[in-house]
Amino acid sequence: MTVLVTGAAGFIGMHVAESLLARGERVIGVDNLSTYYDVRLKRARLARLEGHAGFTFVQADVSDREAMLSLAEREPDATRIVHLAAQPGVRHSLVDPYAYVQANVMGHLVMLEAARRLKRMDHFVYASSSSVYGGNRKLPFAESDRVDHPVSLYAATKRSAELISESYAHLFGLPQTGLRFFTVYGPWGRPDMAPWLFADAILSGRPITLYDAGRLKRDFTFVEDIAAGVLGCLDQPAPGNAPRLLNIGNHRSVEVRRFVEVLETALGRTAAVVDTPRPATDVEETFADIAAIEALCGFEPRTSIEVGIPRFAEWYLSWRKGG
């Protein structure tokens, strides 16, 4: 089987591509190597993938119509797409909103058009986000909940992609599954995410900022559990006229201050903490109802933060020392 993975040099993308390669699939990895964060990290992820004979890398932007449609014509044997490429980061959407619409809306549309041009498209799996739930106070978040009040532009672009996918399933019978990721962390994570920011500050002797004294809660989900869930869903194609939206999380809501406590232990250092009010872009709590994905493919996250954070810390310390 040939799978096209966009965002292959990204955090989740690298883990998904590795998992596909490990089971013998051919993977075509697409990434534009955006400078949003250190490209050296992205190239290091790619180096891991390029050690596999079944991996081919294409440097291209998913919002580039000519590049993506041309790729679809060159790779007629691709039967599945895992579309993970996106402009991430909730707060950065306040700084550069255009990048989010270009990557997350136009990029999604272009990839759907590329999927339509493949000879046989068995399944199009794409990354959405738990951020679409906005300020929802009903817990846990369920796929049937209303999601029409996003609290960030990032969330709005992810919800827009879901709606575009709904229309493409209706119009063209394209089999699709959208996955709403919940606070993914682990080795090879991004420098703009809390685990990296906290670890860097703690080791450098700088204070970390906790909103509302760290009482905010997140459904922290280990990246290897996420990759297993993505592959499980990929192997269960949705009906062409009935696209799916599924939560993929750990089904545990943990206070951020507890996350920091475990990270302090893993690093052997104590954090200096600055308390500040929660910004408008952040919600109080996220918590995933995962009954639907569990029923579909047996998804069962196994990694608690007490296991996952030390694994992240071990990798981070190695990366900090130069790999």
In this prediction, residue 133 carries a pLDDT of 95
Q: What are phi and psi of 26, to 5 degrees?
A: -90, 135
Are 226 and 181 in contact by the 8 Å Cβ rule? The answer is yes
In this prediction, residue 27 carries a pLDDT of 98
Report how many domains make up the chain.
Answer: 1
Angle at 136 between CA 193 and CA 101, to 5 degrees: 55
Q: What is the tens place of the pLDDT at every residue in 257-281?
A: 999 999 999 999 999 999 999 887 7
Q: What is the tens place of the pLDDT at every residue in 188-221?
A: 999 999 999 999 999 999 999 999 988 899 999 9
For the residues 171-185, what does the mean pLDDT come to?
A: 97
Angle between helices 194-204 and 305-320 (to 10 degrees): 60
Residues labelled as active-site residues: 154
Query: 323 falls in which pLDDT band (50, 70, 90)?
Result: low
In this prediction, residue 93 carries a pLDDT of 87
- DSSP letters, 187-246, are TT--TTSHHHHHHHHHHHT--EEEEGGGT-EE--EEHHHHHHHHHHHHTSPPPTTS-EEE
In this prediction, residue 103 carries a pLDDT of 98
In this prediction, residue 44 carries a pLDDT of 98
pLDDT at 1 over 80: yes
**Is residue 313 situated within a structural domain?**
no
* CATH number of the domain enclosing 235: 3.40.50.720
pLDDT at 31 over 80: yes
109 HSE (CA, 13 A, CB side): 14
Query: Which of 10-14, 66-70, 88-92 has the lowest average pLDDT?
Result: 88-92
Q: Which residues touch 304 (CB under 8 Å, ≥6 apart)?
A: 252
In this prediction, residue 135 carries a pLDDT of 81
Instruction: Give the pairing type, strands 244-248 and 208-211.
Output: unpaired
Q: What percentage of the chain reaches a pLDDT higher than 70?
A: 100
Q: What are phi and psi of 140, to 5 degrees?
A: -75, 160
In this prediction, residue 145 carries a pLDDT of 96
For the residues 17-23, what does the mean pLDDT come to?
A: 98
How far apart CA 18 and CA 11 sit, in angstroms, is 11
Q: Which two tokens stand for residue 99?
A: 């990048």
In this prediction, residue 40 carries a pLDDT of 97
Q: What is the tens place of the pLDDT at every residue in 290-319?
A: 999 999 999 999 999 999 999 999 999 999
DSSP letter at 278 equals: P
Q: Which two tokens stand for residue 81?
A: 């797409």
Query: 90 falls in which pLDDT band (50, 70, 90)?
Result: confident
**Is residue 188 situated within a structural domain?**
no
**Is residue 205 situated within a structural domain?**
no
Over the chain, what is the mean pLDDT? Answer: 95
pLDDT at 98 over 70: yes
Are 210 and 220 in contact by the 8 Å Cβ rule? The answer is no
Q: What is the tens place of the pLDDT at every residue in 103-160?
A: 999 999 999 999 999 989 999 999 999 999 998 889 999 999 999 999 899 999 999 9
**Is residue 267 situated within a structural domain?**
no
How far apart CA 123 and CA 177 sit, in angstroms, is 8
pTM of the entire structure?
0.96
For the residues 6-15, what does the mean pLDDT come to?
A: 98
**Is residue 43 situated within a structural domain?**
yes
Query: Residues for the chain: how many in total?
Result: 323
Q: 96 by DSSP, 3-state: which?
A: coil
How far apart CA 239 and CA 135 sit, in angstroms, is 31
Q: What percentage of the chain reaches a pLDDT higher than 90?
A: 89
Query: 12 falls in which pLDDT band (50, 70, 90)?
Result: very high
- Which residue type does 285 have? E
Are 182 and 288 in contact by the 8 Å Cβ rule? The answer is yes
DSSP letter at 143 equals: T
How many of the other CB atoms lie within 10 Å of CB of 239? 11
In this prediction, residue 278 carries a pLDDT of 87
CA 221 to centroid of chain Cα atoms = 11
Q: What are phi and psi of 6, to 5 degrees?
A: -90, 150
Domain region containing 77: 2-182+223-249+287-302
How far apart CA 196 and CA 82 sit, in angstroms, is 26
Q: Which helix (H) or strand (E) holds 247?
A: strand 244-248
